[in-house]
Amino acid sequence: MNYNRIIFIIRAMSKLYHRAITYGTFDLFHIGHLKLLNRIASLADEVIVAVSSDEFNALKNKKCTIPFEQRSEIVAALRVVTKVIKEDNWEQKVTDIQNEKCDLFVMGDDWKGKFDFLKSYCEVIYLPRTEGISTTEIKGILKE
């Protein structure tokens, strides 16, 4: 067995969860997005990311700069991401958790308490946001 495989096995054995899921738009991908996904990967063997569709964002009154297909491709290219799925509505979270066999649901702490109803399906964690960066902030700067 080679050294890299041994390190992989040791790291995998030390993670608290097997499969985590998170949701987001991931428009104008930035360091805050990367840090969130890296923190999730430190907790779970696999990371599933549900990227919000353009249609769902429109229902939320969010205008995306980058189209869904490209946002999904960017997220999928990250080595910490195991799989990308499409988020089409608020209600799909329970089904996604069950279908993907997730034991951890993670969101930024700006959503704290909003998804506690999922605790009957898996562990729910809200991680702190990265200070000083947000897509809304970047869009504001670009408008100036």
Beta-sheet pairing, 44-52 with 17-24: parallel
Supply 71's token pair. 């946002």
Q: Which two tokens stand for residue 5?
A: 């495989």
| 60 assigned to active site | yes
Look at residue 48 in the predicted model and tell me its pLDDT: 98
Catalytic option among 15, 62, 83, 86:
62
Is the domain spanning 17-143 CATH 3.40.1350.10? The answer is: no
pTM: 0.84
Active-site annotation holder among 60, 101, 112, 119: 60
Domain residue ranges in the chain: 17-143
pLDDT tens for 45-88 read 999 999 999 999 999 998 888 999 999 999 999 999 999 999 99
Res. 13 pLDDT band, cuts 50 70 90: low
> Does 125 have pLDDT greater than 90?
yes
pLDDT greater at residue 28 or residue 43? 43
